[in-house]
Structure 1
Amino acid sequence: MTVELVSVERRLWSGDAHFVLARTTVGEVGVLPGHQPMLAQLEEAGVVRVDATDGAKHTIAVHGGFLSVSAERVSILAEFAEQSTEIDVDRARRALDAADVSSDEGKAARARAEARLRAAEAG
């Protein structure tokens, strides 16, 4: 199946894959070729994994957006996204430590930092 992962700023990955794993607001979704068509909202701060047909595994931290699935195509439209190889782990840890969880904004910052660290560890 063809997979395209884009953020507001750029295209992060595009190509053929045999599996996509994403966390939506209603739970984790695994997508294989021939999957039932669907549209879902991505978790506010999560990790997407794409298993390419060439054997490479791509792990991406995503922040908000949508997952669109048809029989042979998956489109992931994220508000913000980073490849695991692009993540500055020290910066993400500092952001995690600095997040003030007494506010909604602080809780969101903490969730984004945690997602970035999960992606970096998995990637």
Structure 2
Amino acid sequence: MATLKVGLVSPEREIWTGEAKMVVAQTIEGQLGILPGHAPVLGVLLDGSVVKIEPTEGAEPVIAMVGSGFFSIADDEVSILAEQAELGAEIDVAAARQALQDALAAAGEDGTSERRARARLRAAGAEG
């Protein structure tokens, strides 16, 4: 079975690397599903979105919130480079809810804080 070699990194650390059968990312142009054999692509991540990685061998899906950044696909290798990224399993849901409330209370912002707070809650499985 063909697989993808996936790396999800932020400036702070390597978030996740491994073999996967599928990756789903939200770009500024729409959602993109990536399977082995995908054509080469360079895309821009939607700031405040969620990336889902389906690891091989039936492991639990990896879900992460990502801030702005980009990804590349070439020769069954997927590199996801995000300004900000956090695994759903590592997110403090109470703190994410508070960040969403703070973002909603701050009128006049560009919406980035709200999108990121909502994405953190989606990645944690606590819908925002």
SS in 1 for 2:67: strand
Asked if the contact 1:101/1:110 (under 8 Å) is kept, the reply is: no
- Listed one character per residue, the Cα deviations across residues 50-102 of structure 1 (whole Å, up to 9, x for unaligned) are 00012221000000110101131000000010001110110110111111142
Asked if the contact 1:49/1:59 (under 8 Å) is kept, the reply is: yes
Percent of aligned positions with the same letter in both sequences? 47
SS in 2 for 1:121: coil
What residue number does 2:109 align with? 103
Q: Could you tell me which of 81, 87, 92 is aligned with 2:85? A: 81
Q: Which has the higher strand share?
A: 1
SS in 1 for 2:21: strand
**1:24 to 2:27 alignment:** yes
What residue number does 1:42 align with? 45
Q: Could you tell me which of 61, 66, 81 is aligned with 2:65? A: 61
TM-score (norm 2): 0.90
Q: Which runs of 4+ in 1 moved over 4 A?
A: none
User: Residues of 2 paired with 1:52 and 1:101: CA distance?
Assistant: 40
What residue number does 1:6 align with? 9
Q: Tell me, which stretches of 5 or more residues in structure 2 are unaligned?
A: none
**1:91 to 2:90 alignment:** no
Instruction: Count the aligned residue pairs.
Output: 120
User: Residues of 2 paired with 1:58 and 1:37: CA distance?
Assistant: 23
Q: Tell me, which stretches of 5 or more residues in structure 1 are unaligned?
A: none
Measured after TM superposition, the shift of residue 49 of structure 1 is: 0.4
User: Residues of 1 paired with 2:83 and 2:49: CA distance?
Assistant: 12
- Listed one character per residue, the Cα deviations across residues 13-48 of structure 1 (whole Å, up to 9, x for unaligned) are 111000000000000000000001000000011000
TM-score (norm 1): 0.94
SS in 2 for 1:92: helix
Q: Which has the higher helix share?
A: 1
Q: Aligned AA for 1:116? A: R
